[in-house]
Structure 1
Amino acid sequence: MFDRRSLLRTGSAATLGAIALTAVAGGTDLATAAANNPDLLGDPSQDPSEQYPFPKRLTHQERLHLKRFDELDFVVYSGQQWSRLGESHSDTIRVHWPDGHYTDGIDRHIEDLKAQFVWAPDTRISQHPIRIAKDNLTAVTGVSRGTFSRPMPDGQGGFIQPTGQKFAINMVTVGLWNKRGVMDEEFLFWDAQTFMQQIGVG
């Protein structure tokens, strides 16, 4: 038997697979396995105060990538310090969004990020429950929090009026880093349906 919570922090590429196999071997799904086993992580979005350590046995390069990603989410993104986005993103960054479309270039990405703060100016990320790094690849989970407090552009010239409801969405970012220590490609994942339900428009 292994310590699943410890495994999550080792940076092993097999970590998530090991957890999934344990659930399958026990004849249950991951949600049930987590509910029945205190060693598994619960829902990080429900506990904003919990902090999570870096995995062990990282190379210098892997640790640098993860530290830079922490700075990106906790300081640059949450503080809307857009002039610093080049510390973690290449000028030609390709960003893949949850709906399947992608954009090219840091300037376009900054505009997309700014748009999130128009209707939820208190948006922030302050937790990275799982950090995985292997060579030039990182996979990091986070919790995006905020409040739908201002009108949201609907993309057709109109606005969706704010509901005042708060959101706390679990998300994953996968990054491909180059030799200069910035990402050339970024993949963003979150559950859009849950997000829309939380802000009261889904």
Structure 2
Amino acid sequence: MIDRRSLIRSGSAAGFGALALAAVNSGTELAYGSTTDGPTSGFGSGQPGYPANLSPQERRQLRIFDELDFEVFTGQKWDRLGESHARNIRVHHPDGHFTDGIDKHIEDLAWFFLWAPDTRILEHPLRVATNQLTAVTSVMKGTFTKPMPNGKGGFIKPTGKAYEILMATVGIWNRHNTMDEEYLFWDNQSFNAQIGLD
């Protein structure tokens, strides 16, 4: 049996690919195609449905994650982040660093809106769920129209360029249906190039 946590912790594309293959090989269906049990209008309408073989817990976790991106993140409703994230969540970022705690995670998420106020996630092209593990791909979009804090007390001048990146989030859920760990994957080189920072 594949140790999913060690694959995710490696942070590599190969590890993530192996995770997806393991999910498929274990009988977990990829969540795309039409079903009548997918998200409805209000948020995520037009999204692929959920696979028929999910347990009630797996279905609940995917629904929570849909609402997290479509409503909470896109709407900057940071007071609701605790609906999907444990207070002491550890978040692993694409550059290899990690943060601990929901307050730091909110600060990191809000950073996108400082320089790209139109940041949004409205699509989940692919969803996988098995037991306490979910993997969801998202399309994040925005436009670099405001000064970007550079982390050194200064700012990077806006370029006016739009970005659209495919990202993946792997979540490890606890018995309270919140994530204890979250792994974020996207191509930083493509992201920086799109907003004019290459």
Same fold (TM over 0.5): yes
Tell me, yes or no, if structure 1 residue 161 matches structure 2 residue 171: no
| Number of residue equivalences | 159
Aligned to 2:71: 75
Q: Give, in whole Å, the separation in 1 of the partners of 2:101 and 2:137.
A: 23
Q: Give, in whole Å, the separation in 2 of the partners of 1:173 and 1:182.
A: 14
Q: Give, in whole Å, the separation in 2 of the partners of 1:55 and 1:146.
A: 30
Aligned to 1:111: 107
SS, match of residue 163 in structure 2? strand
SS, match of residue 123 in structure 2? coil
Aligned to 1:194: 190
**What's the CA shift string for 1:99-141, capped at 9, x where partnerless?**
0100000111111111111000110000000000000000000
Aligned to 1:96: 92
Q: Give, in whole Å, the separation in 2 of the partners of 1:55 and 1:192.
A: 31
Amino acid paired to 1:199: I
Shift of 1:56: 2.4
Tell me, yes or no, if structure 1 residue 182 matches structure 2 residue 178: yes
Normalising by structure 1, what TM-score? 0.76
Large movers: runs of 4+ above 3 Å? none
* Equivalent in 148, 154, 158 of residue 152 of structure 1: 148
Shift of 1:55: 2.1
Amino acid paired to 1:137: L
- CA 1:12–1:68 in structure 2 vs 1: closer, same or farther (change >3 Å)? farther
Tell me, yes or no, if structure 1 residue 139 matches structure 2 residue 135: yes
- 8 Å CA contact retained: 1:144, 1:168: yes
Shift of 1:51: 2.9
Amino acid paired to 1:62: E
Please list, as runs of the form range in 1=range in 2, the aligned pairs for 1:23-62 lying within 5 A after superposition: 51-62=47-58
SS, match of residue 184 in structure 2? strand
- 8 Å CA contact retained: 1:52, 1:127: no
Aligned to 2:15: none
Q: Give, in whole Å, the separation in 2 of the partners of 1:77 and 1:124.
A: 7
What stretches of structure 2 of length at least 5 have no aligned partner? 1-20, 26-44
Tell me, yes or no, if structure 1 residue 87 matches structure 2 residue 83: yes
Q: Percent identity?
A: 60
Aligned to 1:13: 23
SS, match of residue 138 in structure 2? strand
Shift of 1:50: 6.3
Larger radius of gyration: 1
SS, match of residue 68 in structure 1? helix
Shift of 1:68: 0.1
SS, match of residue 144 in structure 1? strand
Normalising by structure 2, what TM-score? 0.77
Q: Give, in whole Å, the separation in 2 of the partners of 1:153 and 1:55.
A: 41
SS, match of residue 70 in structure 2? helix
